[in-house]
Structure 1
Amino acid sequence: MVSITLFGGSGRMGRAIAEVAGQRADVAIVPDGGDVFVDFSVPAALDAHLDAAVAGGTPIVIGTTGLEAAHQRAIDAAAERVALIQAANTSLGVNLLSHLVREAAARLGDDWDIEIFEMHHRMKVDAPSGTALLLGRAAAEGRGVDLDAVADRGRDGISGARTSGHIGFAALRGGSVAGDHQVILAADGERIELGHRAESRIVFARGAVAAAAWLAGKPAGRYTMADVLGF
């Protein structure tokens, strides 16, 4: 039995994780002192949660998005002391999609433009989504470039012709959409579209619980969903 202490338990994802955990016999949600922490709260709370993980030697799964460079440095430092997974998306399908995007970008030249479209519910506060950025990083890694150097995160007005080799992002918000993502690779006369649609937050919750169960007892270091899923 793996016990999980959940940060952000009152939010949409927290409630979904509690529901999934309640359906498994090998995990349980506990208010504190769990074998693993799972954080789906807010960026402002991350430092305190990392400090608690390090102080207790407790592995932690981080699903919080909208993080900035300072948060990433804190995560890197914590991973030197405890086992840690930071995942913009814990869905099996999305992590497979990321693998496919990396492979496609590696095999196609810069004459193939890459655009990433995402849509989420009206209450989401950050854009592009963490998953869109995950897919963008996969595409950039496939091409051997730094995403920050080639990302176009918004176009408005007379933006000029598209820059060859750049990776574009478009974000839509509305309704109750759990998460739609599409990666478009477009060349003259042909187009490849790779996508994923989440119909419920349960798909992310299942992956988060699986990640927590897998992470329990692991030595300090950074791990990924690919490690959890054996990709």
Structure 2
Amino acid sequence: MTNIAISGAAGRMGQRLVALGHEDPDLSVVAGIDAPASPSLGKDLGVLVHTGAIGIPLTDHLPESCAPDAIIDFSVPAAMRNIIEVARTRRIPLVIGTTGLVPEDQTLIDNAAKEIPVLYASNFSLVVNVLNLLSAKAAQLLGPDYDIEIVEAHHRFKKDAPSGTALTLAQHICDATDRDFEQDVVLQRHGDDCQRQPNEITVQAIRIGDHPGEHTAYFATLGERLELKHVSTSRDSYVLGALRAAKWLRDKPAGRYDMRSVLGLDD
């Protein structure tokens, strides 16, 4: 049995983590954390996610008496910075799925990973992680004559753009083809002179309705194109991946990990 605490438990992803974590016979949800201003503070987590009372209230911090085997953080960057310090101080493995992180946050993760196991992923879906590998391989095989575009779509409430998943996909392609991410990845296209540049990868974002997520990598030259696409029909695919990551991480030594390791995709 793996005891888990959920940071960001009142959010969309957090509620599904609580619900599916409670249903998993190998997991026990022992704490749920959210912002001090959350109107749901004090509510039973099970009541909050409509699965029935489980005797665990939503709090604004990890109780001192609670010692989870892992924390899963799907909150906001400011809250993530706090929970990473809590995890480091109390030596608790940490799974991070919070989006919108800045380079300084990645440094925080690197520093924490010197003391505890930390697993960060921009996307916990098995299919997305396979998409990263396939897209990198396609870019290698097709070569520089093929234009590369990445288009992602999410719901109207998503704050960051482009998605972390789209940027990670672009990074995988850059790594596989010796491109420079900072120089070759373009995050928008507009104006009177937008002709493609050599090695350019453009990432574009769409925000519509309640779309749970879609990412497409296009590889095209004159006369043909290849499209590699992941379509999410439910956030549960991400939630199940994060829960799987927490189980995997609990006994690992200090270090920084990702979903490639969890899914055995390193080779």
Q: TM-score range by the shorter chain?
A: over 0.9
Q: What is the identity percentage for the equivalent residue pairs of Structure 1 and Structure 2?
A: 42
Structure 1 Cα separation of the partners of residues 115 and 139 of structure 2: 34
- What displacement does 1:145 show? 2.2
Q: Is 1:30 matched up with 2:30?
A: yes
- What displacement does 1:180 show? 0.7
TM-score, normalising length: structure 1: 0.97
2:161 maps to what in 1?
Answer: 127
1:67-91 superposed Cα distances (whole Å, 9 cap, x missing partner): 1011111111111111111100000
1:114 maps to what in 2?
Answer: 148
Q: Is 1:43 matched up with 2:43?
A: no
Matches within 5 A, 1:1-231: 1-31=1-31, 32=62, 33-231=67-265
User: What code does the residue aligned with 2:156 have?
Assistant: R
- On the 8 A contact 2:119/2:257 being kept in 1, the answer is yes
RMSD value, Cα: 1.0
- On the 8 A contact 2:185/2:203 being kept in 1, the answer is yes
Structure 2 Cα separation of the partners of residues 172 and 103 of structure 1: 26
- What displacement does 1:107 show? 1.8
TM-score, normalising length: structure 2: 0.85
1:86-127 superposed Cα distances (whole Å, 9 cap, x missing partner): 100000110111110111112221111110000100000100
Structure 2 Cα separation of the partners of residues 44 and 58 of structure 1: 19
Change (3 A) 1:59 1:111: same
- What displacement does 1:43 show? 0.6
Structure 1 Cα separation of the partners of residues 225 and 244 of structure 2: 35
User: What code does the residue aligned with 2:5 have?
Assistant: T
Gaps of 5+ in 2: 32-61
Structure 2 Cα separation of the partners of residues 114 and 76 of structure 1: 30
Structure 1 Cα separation of the partners of residues 253 and 180 of structure 2: 29
Higher RCO (Cα < 8 Å, 6 or more apart): 1
User: What code does the residue aligned with 1:193 have?
Assistant: E
Runs of 4 or more off by more than 6 Å in structure 1?
none
- What displacement does 1:20 show? 1.5
Structure 1 Cα separation of the partners of residues 232 and 223 of structure 2: 30
Structure 2 Cα separation of the partners of residues 159 and 224 of structure 1: 39
- On the 8 A contact 1:111/1:165 being kept in 2, the answer is no
User: What code does the residue aligned with 1:219 have?
Assistant: P
Structure 2 Cα separation of the partners of residues 45 and 148 of structure 1: 27
